[in-house]
Amino acid sequence: MAKMVSYKSGLHLVIFIVLILFISACGGQPNTTGQESTQPPAGKDYGLNEEVNAGKIGYVVSEVKKDKKIGQNEFLQKTTENQFLIIKVKVTNNDKETRTIDTSLFKLLDSEGKEYSAMADADLYVNEGNGFFLAQVNPGTSKSGFVVFEIPENVSGLKLQVSSGLGWSGGEYEIINLGQ
């Protein structure tokens, strides 16, 4: 009986580890900042103020700015030695069910093929109570907010890669040329 209990415990541990690895691969954070992109580039580059559909999620980038500081509240600000790229995005759910929107749907690509992750903690500084942190967006509705990336000052050819969703909904990508 003791062997059966340890066998089951070991099997549960293996299943748990495999599940964690699967979740990380499907819906986890993008590659760490500065690593080369492993995602194939999408077919067409879109520009500012153009609607882009990645799967059943629509995106419109309307503003891009750079700054050394984020946060309007004097008690809630963050600064950097590098620069913050602050992107205003409108996300529309074109699906028949509620979709989760998060900063992990966005990656920044530069002209050298380097890939930058969005700053999840920046949501607190730039989106006053109405951010993209695991936000639920109902069918046919939109959510607007800012996505922030910390990047070196000398990068160029910046493009925003947007995803069709988290987990099983993901896998389709589109590229928006930021003109930077």
Q: What is the DSSP string of 50-68?
A: --EEETTEEEEEEEEEEEE
CB 52 within 8 A of CB 176: yes
Nearest to 157 by CA among 120, 114, 128, 103: 114
Q: Of 112, 108, 119, which is closest to residue 64 (Cα–Cα)?
A: 108
Tokens of 175: 């590229």
Write the pLDDT tens digit of every residue in 159-174.
Answer: 999 988 777 766 788 9
Query: What single-letter amino acid sits at 136?
Result: Q
Residue 41 predicted with pLDDT over 60: no
> What pLDDT, in 10s, does the model give residues 106-141?
999 999 989 999 988 887 777 776 777 888 899 999
Half-sphere exposure of 85 (CA within 13 A, CB side): 26
Query: Quick one: 88 exposed, middle or buried, by C-beta within 10 A (0-12, 13-18, 19+)?
Result: middle
Taking the alpha carbons at both ends of the chain, their separation in whole angstroms is 66
In a 13 Å sphere around the CA of 172, the CA atoms on its Cβ side amount to 11
Q: Can you tell me the mean pLDDT for 34-53?
A: 66
Three-state secondary-structure class, residue 6: helix
31-177 to CATH, choices 2.60.40.1240, 2.30.30.60, 3.20.20.70, 3.30.43.10: 2.60.40.1240
> What are the residue ranges spanned by the domains of the chain?
31-177
Segment 2-25 mean pLDDT: 47
Is residue 72 scored above 80 in pLDDT? Answer: no
Tell me the longest C-alpha to C-alpha distance in the chain: 67
Q: Collapsing DSSP states into helix, strand and coil, what is residue 141?
A: coil
3-state secondary structure 71-103: CCCCCCCEEEEEEEEEEEEEEEECCCCCEEECH
Whether 42 has a pLDDT exceeding 50, the answer reads no
Percentage of residues in the chain with pLDDT exceeding 70?
73
Answer yes or no: is pLDDT of 18 > 70: no
Reply yes or no on whether the pLDDT at 47 is more than 50: yes
Read off the pTM: 0.72
